A and B are shown apart, each in its own frame.
Chain A
């Protein structure tokens, strides 16, 4: 190997040198200011609705029977979650099961709702019933399952004529989560 001799570069003085120290001071102050004042929004929101009495007349029975729609009710207990799927024409559940309040159990529930959305992309409402002693934290966990798609599931787009409610992501599994047992409290 031919031996290369690294020549030491001669530093050429141009006679021009910027003093960067004041700039560095300024940057430090700016960084401290930005860190102290900026708001990193760590607080998020999940939207829910409560049932209310409407002045609109209820749909006619014949119309309901002609085109029955699927309804999904979720009941949260302290350790379990119950899934019930019925139709607007028949309130007797066509599909019903109970799972433990764990990630695996909740995933099974999401799988069911996902299948309904796949079948009918306009399906948008799930009603959640929570038992009195259930912690708020557990309720949020279930609400997350109902609303937010888990990894590995591709979002199902809503029909083009669907009116998207405010404050929801178009990728949400369902857009309306209603808390069922609010009034007529025990």
Chain B
């Protein structure tokens, strides 16, 4: 039986593969496979969000952050170790995994 933890594990691995594929010089064929998996996750009711590059503040409870550097101005997410995963229930979403991110100011 597939548990929520199993699903999160699989989605996190797909996210890792996507990150690695971006760095490879290939004609996006890996991205097509991972997109198919993302579509399947959506069908199963799971949405995956990559907050890389987004602004960060102390009200964002969708991420667990480690703040690097000595500036707290203009905080941005500079590294995403795990993405945000939400589960759809009717018209609304519920976050089932917070992103694990590194944040830096400028």
- The answer on A and B forming one complex is no
